[in-house]
Amino acid sequence: MHENREISSTPSSTGEGRSAKAVNRNADMHVLEKSDCVVLPVNQPNKGANALAEGGEGRTQMKENTIQPRMLPTQSGVGMSQGLHGVRKAAKDRKQERFTSLLHNLDVGLLRDSFYALKRRAAPGVDGVRWEEYETGLEDQLIDLHGRVHRGAYRAQPSRRVYIPKANGRQRPLGIAALEDKIVQQAVVSILNQIYEVGFKGFSYGFRPGRSPHQALDALTVGIQRKKVNWILDADVLGFFDNVGHEWALKFIEHRVADHRMLRLIQKWLKAGVSEDGQWSETNKGTPQGAVASPLIANVYLHYTFDLWADACAEKWRRAMSSSSDTPMTL
């Protein structure tokens, strides 16, 4: 996992097969590097589809799809509003529900929390505005931003393109968003996380609130040492963030989100383009690496294109192993 350089520095602690709904946008409309040592499991594995990946992790086990009785933290670590709590509860109780009204949860308070969740020393975008500068007169600026978002006057600015070197000698392109774009993206991600976090698979660790690469390595250690694992698949999607299809990304998001104003915000970020050396260029595919919203968009995309398939394969493997060791199995 590579560091997302613009996402909040303090993430929160806070399905079902490849769906045919992806071909129909209007379907079902209702309303760090290594573990330092071997980690021995100290807890009991979950039962069900995610047991292999999650079972008996040495670190504190992630309790998937749980709702705490009090206000949950947002990505900034601030107490989550009762409105967001209601979104999360509805998403958990009604797994197929599409949310038609979400943007009202994006209020000035959430924008404020989102602003303070951003990195103070992050490089500025094309607007040239730094965190410290925006904090001056913050309340008036957030009220103005809130008004523009809700009346449709908010306009996403292009990402400023920069490059960082990779270990193989190549360069990784990053997109640095304007400060107000970061604030609104952080707020939208805080809302959408309440929906998607209760549906993502337990073996998914990348760019998830309260999860880390170390926990993924712990789960892998348990799988190798304690489970009947005979092979490991190590795969990488070449240039994933640069080549995400916009149309399919939106189709997958629409499985749960039917609020057209929220979808329009995501479209604005995908289509804002990039600015490199003062020259603007259109973006017909991809989502900027480094943008606050990109990890969630990527996770939703991979949930439907990979995680559900992997979960189905693992379930088939478990059934075959439990029935008979002599029965041939094809995944």
More confident residue, 231 or 146: 146
**Cross-strand bridge partners of residue 279:** 276
By three-state DSSP, how is residue 162 classified? strand
Handedness of CA 260, 262, 263, 265 (dihedral sign): positive
What's the rounded Cα separation, in Å, for the pair 331 and 317? 7
pLDDT greater than 80 at residue 94: yes
What's the pLDDT at 328? 52
Token code pair at residue 219: 């789960």
Q: What is the DSSP letter of 23?
A: G
What's the pLDDT at 285? 93
Token code pair at residue 276: 């490199």
pTM above 0.75, yes or no: no
pLDDT greater than 60 at residue 324: no
Q: Give pLDDT tens digits for 156-177.
A: 999 999 998 988 888 888 999 9
Q: Give pLDDT tens digits for 220-272.
A: 899 889 887 778 888 888 889 999 999 999 999 999 999 999 999 999 999 99
What's the pLDDT at 325? 53
Can you point out the beta strands (E) in the chain?
159-165, 171-176, 274-276, 279-281
Stretch 73-90: mean pLDDT:
69
More confident residue, 6 or 120: 120
Q: What is the dihedral of CA 138, 273, 293, 300, to 10 degrees?
A: 160
Q: 162 with 174: CB under 8 angstroms? A: yes
Handedness of CA 246, 80, 290, 157 (dihedral sign): positive
Token code pair at residue 32: 């760090």
pLDDT greater than 90 at residue 189: yes
What's the pLDDT at 54? 40
Kindly write down the DSSP assignment for every residue of 97-164, as one continuous string.
--BS--GGG--HHHHHHHHHHS-TTPPP-TT---HHHHHTTHHHHHHHHHHHHHTT---PPPEEEEEE
What's the pLDDT at 13? 39
Q: What is the DSSP letter of 105?
A: G
Longest alpha-carbon distance in the chain: 71
pLDDT greater than 80 at residue 316: yes
What's the pLDDT at 232? 83
Place of tokens 């523009």: 148
Stretch 273-290: mean pLDDT:
90
pLDDT greater than 80 at residue 313: yes
pLDDT greater than 90 at residue 277: no
What's the pLDDT at 171? 87
Q: Which residue in 211, 194, 11 sits closest to 106, CA to CA?
A: 194
Q: Are strands 171-176 and 159-165 parallel, antiparallel or unpaired?
A: antiparallel
What's the pLDDT at 91? 94
- Per-residue burial over 285-302, b if 16 or more Cβ lie within 10 Å, else e, is ebbbbbbbbbbbbbbbbb
Percentage of residues of the chain with pLDDT beyond 90: 55
Q: Give pLDDT tens digits for 3-55.
A: 444 444 434 434 343 334 444 434 333 333 333 333 333 333 444 434 444 44
Handedness of CA 57, 47, 63, 193 (dihedral sign): positive
Stretch 76-97: mean pLDDT:
80
What's the pLDDT at 67? 34
Percentage of residues of the chain with pLDDT beyond 70: 73
Place of tokens 């979808």: 263
- Mean pLDDT for the chain overall: 79
Task: Fill in the amino acid letter for 181.
Answer: D
pLDDT greater than 90 at residue 116: yes
98 to 12, 27, 60, 254: CA distances (angstroms): 24, 9, 32, 8
What's the pLDDT at 326? 52
Confidence of residue 80 (pLDDT cuts 50, 70, 90): low
pLDDT greater than 50 at residue 56: no
What's the rounded Cα separation, in Å, for the pair 221 and 40? 8
What's the pLDDT at 155? 96
What's the pLDDT at 153? 96
Q: 293 with 189: CB under 8 angstroms? A: yes
What's the pLDDT at 237? 86
